[in-house]
Chains A and B, each alone.
Chain A
């Protein structure tokens, strides 16, 4: 990154990015490096509790999130890429602020302070704060008018309790347009992907996913770009509609535009091979 200082940020990957969506994690690290960010993985982080803990036991979900917050060093913001992890961490912080007794009890139990003022931000917010100039300076490849549909999923629909927080997920389209992509939006970009029902009730999720994909193809999109690793997985594995179009992690496209080289190892992990499309657009060789 020309002329920019490294900015230290604590990074919470979450279970999906650490395992099934490793390509998202790797490309996120890569783009951050190019942009001059220093992402420091939260040491010994645990699962935020996911939907299952908050479905069955709110107290457990709260404690799991609180433990992650207790591990974050003071003085630098905590960043997450997974929108659901972000929700659960913010929810835990909200509870800590509202319940001083619970806060004290957890601090005593783990023997470390839990900051109630820790800033919890999404990767998109980091990009917005950086501004478009920095992105353009780091840009190596133009996206050559790649017609993409920014698929936000249900991340923009947030619980009323967390309504007053800052969110920047809607910037996905703006950022990729700056980098030369062509944004299409007239499709089901906010429709929920089915979340955990994909495992237990695939019969419910398949029609939903097909509807989303059909609407994307109808607007002329060549691919979908999503900020959530679970959406990416559900859209790929539950789609029975033809023709299948590739679904990218946002960080993959970002890293590609910023000149990352090891994309081959990310794209082989996709169930719908995105390489023919990117080759046709002259983005990869």
Chain B
């Protein structure tokens, strides 16, 4: 079944929200992980109006909350918005119902990774993975290493080359990484808890 907005005097351009495949436990699950109070949302759209990144999102933040409320699991987990959000918390502060919207995005990213959902922004995910790789190996983020490995992963060697070279010229990128001495304490954190002894 699809709900057409036409009956409410809307235009044909609005995308219909297909609700026949809803997951009735989805909202509770996201609420449990995020502790964000998402059922308080009454869709005033303040979040989207203040968001600096809304232009790069496929749905504004309140639409994501609506998807969760309606139980549209796949749609919510496969959207661009959850990866574009940088957790600057502009929306969380402006929200009149004090909903921790960034925490909802965190929860959705976690579910998307756990369930192997299609990731809409693979470059952003690749970048995060390289940062974690660096932390795992050194205990600290080594920027040059992260950028080189990231470039190799996304195969875009020439994008941003000028910026990289300028940063190198101003000695902003250290060639050698500094390390944590007790590195085993760090690497152990990366072993999933069920494998730890």
Are A199's CB and B141's CB within 8 A?
A: no
Q: Which chain A residues border B142 with CB–CB below 8 Å?
A: 19
Is B31 positioned at the interface, with any CB of A under 8 Å from its CB? no
Q: Which residue of B lies closest to A191 (CB)?
A: B52
Q: Which residue of A lies closest to B170 (CB)?
A: A269
Is B73 positioned at the interface, with any CB of A under 8 Å from its CB? no
Q: Which chain B residues border A160 with CB–CB below 8 Å?
A: 92, 98-100
Are B106's CB and A60's CB within 8 A?
A: no
Are A271's CB and B170's CB within 8 A?
A: yes
A46 and B140 in contact, given A191-B52, A195-B86 (Cβ under 8 angstroms)? yes
**Contact count A vs B, C-beta below 8 Å:** 156
- Bound-state CA distance A54–B180 (Å) is 20
Q: Is the interface of A mostly helix, strand, loop or mixed?
A: helix
Interface residues on A, range: 35 or more
Q: Which chain A residues border B140 with CB–CB below 8 Å?
A: 15, 18, 46-47
Are A55's CB and B106's CB within 8 A?
A: yes
- Bound-state CA distance A60–B146 (Å) is 18
From B53, B163, B170, B189, contact of A60 by CB (8 A): B189
From A64, A154, A157, A208, contact of B135 by CB (8 A): A64
Is B123 positioned at the interface, with any CB of A under 8 Å from its CB? yes
Is B124 positioned at the interface, with any CB of A under 8 Å from its CB? yes
CB distance from A279 to the nearest CB of B (A): 19
CB distance from B52 to the nearest CB of A (A): 5
Is B56 positioned at the interface, with any CB of A under 8 Å from its CB? yes
Are A64's CB and B189's CB within 8 A?
A: yes
Are B170's CB and A158's CB within 8 A?
A: no
Q: Which chain B residues border A168 with CB–CB below 8 Å?
A: none
Is A233 positioned at the interface, with any CB of B under 8 Å from its CB? yes
Q: Which residue of A lies closest to B130 (CB)?
A: A52
Q: Which chain A residues border B141 with CB–CB below 8 Å?
A: 15, 47, 50
Is A181 positioned at the interface, with any CB of B under 8 Å from its CB? no
Is B172 positioned at the interface, with any CB of A under 8 Å from its CB? yes
Is B117 positioned at the interface, with any CB of A under 8 Å from its CB? no
Listed by A's residue number, 26 A-B pairs whose Cβ atoms lie within 8 Å are: A15-B140, A18-B140, A19-B142, A19-B174, A20-B167, A20-B172, A20-B174, A45-B180, A50-B135, A51-B86, A51-B128, A52-B128, A53-B131, A58-B106, A58-B110, A60-B190, A67-B189, A154-B89, A154-B90, A157-B93, A159-B87, A197-B56, A200-B123, A200-B150, A237-B167, A269-B171
